[in-house]
Structure 1
Amino acid sequence: MAGNNGISIIRTVELEDAGAIVNIMNAVIAEGEYLITTPAEYNKTPEEQRESIHNILENERETLLVAEVNGNVVGYIVFFSQTRKRMSHTGSAGMMVNKDFREMGIGKKLMEALLSWAKNNPLIEKVSLGVFSNNHRAKALYKSLGFIEEGRKFREFKMDENEYVDDILLYKLV
């Protein structure tokens, strides 16, 4: 736990952050709670992540921001754009924060920074995301930042033999 003296900084990703991002992804995916990906399905290497970061940094419609506490990357938010011309004004956001650094406002800072980036990017007009219907903390965060529900995919995720979760689709115009 970072404690009150842990200073969090939100900044644009650097290639050197690849290993930290892979570690966060592995840890959050291992929790198995609010992600589509299972641990067996994720095997990205730091080298592959570095290539992904490079591609994002080269694309003016995409960004990846990291949260740093005491010099360590503890979370990130990524925005992927749509490639088709008629959808190029929109994209999807995804965020992960290390378990030890949740409930400290880092997710909110990451999302606010992403929304600021999108608002200042003349190519982006709409930020979309999906959230598990049982992820109440995330839903509350997104709604507090002005996201609006635009749809729901019922029983989209099969978590166990008889356990399903809806995918709630949210958006915000910037």
Structure 2
Amino acid sequence: MTAIEVNSSIVIRRPSADDFTEIKDFVRKTCENTRNTYGEHDWNETPLEEGTYEEMMERFGAGNILLGFLDGILSGIVVLTQKNTEKFRHVGNLTLSLLSDDLIGSLGKELISRMILTCKGKGVIRKVNLRVREDLFKIQEIYKSLGFYEEGSLARDVCLNGMFYSTLLFGRSID
């Protein structure tokens, strides 16, 4: 997949080895503000500082990461993870990280849409799951506008600064 220019300021594309330093900087920034990462993946579980680009790509798989650039600056990443077991191979778990919550309606929406198109093209992933904290209403509405539906919740699933939040589970069939 080559870079896809959505409008004059947003570009969505797969990562290359040349992006690795910028990806590490982005992850550092988004880890500082855990509010800007939505999904089940936690960047802290991926030791990019000590790792290499090749190790990152091996962990996530080619085509399972898309980068979003806003005015030439890496401003969003969408990652699709999946289990290797046969019975769960058809399910992808989506995580979106953005530099700012303000980007969810533009860059975030476009990143998720492109990842769904990538899944459709490969034909392996047949269902995409994601998680969202119960208090992030705007993000829930974006997911619903992309065809996701609420499937359940996990009580007290997330603890931030001593506050517990339930996680809502969303899913979307893509076949």
The aligned runs of 1:24-43 (5 Å cut-off) are 24-33=26-35
SS of equivalent to 1:74: strand
* Structure 1, unaligned runs of 5 or more: none
Aligned pair 1:48/2:35, yes or no?
no
SS of equivalent to 2:140: helix
After superposition, the CA RMSD in angstroms is: 2.8
* Structure 2, unaligned runs of 5 or more: 1-6
Q: TM-score, normalised by structure 2?
A: 0.81
Paired AA for residue 13 in structure 2: R
8 A Cα contact 1:13 1:53, kept in partner: no
Q: Find the counterpart in structure 1 of residue 171 from structure 2.
A: 171
Q: Find the counterpart in structure 1 of residue 79 from structure 2.
A: 78
Q: Find the counterpart in structure 1 of residue 120 from structure 2.
A: 119
User: Quick one: distance in 2 between partners of 1:137 and 1:16?
Assistant: 34
Q: Find the counterpart in structure 1 of residue 11 from structure 2.
A: 9
| 1:104 Cα deviation from its structure 2 partner | 6.0
Instruction: Describe the shift of the 1:65–1:38 C-alpha distance in structure 2 as closer, same or farther (beyond 3 A).
Output: closer
User: Quick one: distance in 1 between partners of 2:125 and 2:105?
Assistant: 28
| 1:56 Cα deviation from its structure 2 partner | 5.3
User: Quick one: distance in 1 between partners of 2:76 and 2:97?
Assistant: 5
Instruction: Describe the shift of the 1:34–1:153 C-alpha distance in structure 2 as closer, same or farther (beyond 3 A).
Output: farther
Equivalenced residue count is 166
User: Quick one: distance in 1 between partners of 2:56 and 2:154?
Assistant: 30
Paired AA for residue 48 in structure 1: G
User: Quick one: distance in 1 between partners of 2:9 and 2:36?
Assistant: 27
8 A Cα contact 2:152 2:169, kept in partner: yes
| 1:70 Cα deviation from its structure 2 partner | 3.1
| 1:37 Cα deviation from its structure 2 partner | 8.6
Q: Find the counterpart in structure 2 of residue 105 from structure 1.
A: 106
Q: Percent identity?
A: 20
| 1:66 Cα deviation from its structure 2 partner | 0.5
Q: TM-score, normalised by structure 1?
A: 0.81
User: Quick one: distance in 2 between partners of 1:15 and 1:100?
Assistant: 27
Instruction: Describe the shift of the 1:97–1:38 C-alpha distance in structure 2 as closer, same or farther (beyond 3 A).
Output: closer
Instruction: Describe the shift of the 1:68–1:101 C-alpha distance in structure 2 as closer, same or farther (beyond 3 A).
Output: farther
Instruction: Describe the shift of the 1:52–1:129 C-alpha distance in structure 2 as closer, same or farther (beyond 3 A).
Output: farther
User: Quick one: distance in 1 between partners of 2:45 and 2:90?
Assistant: 29
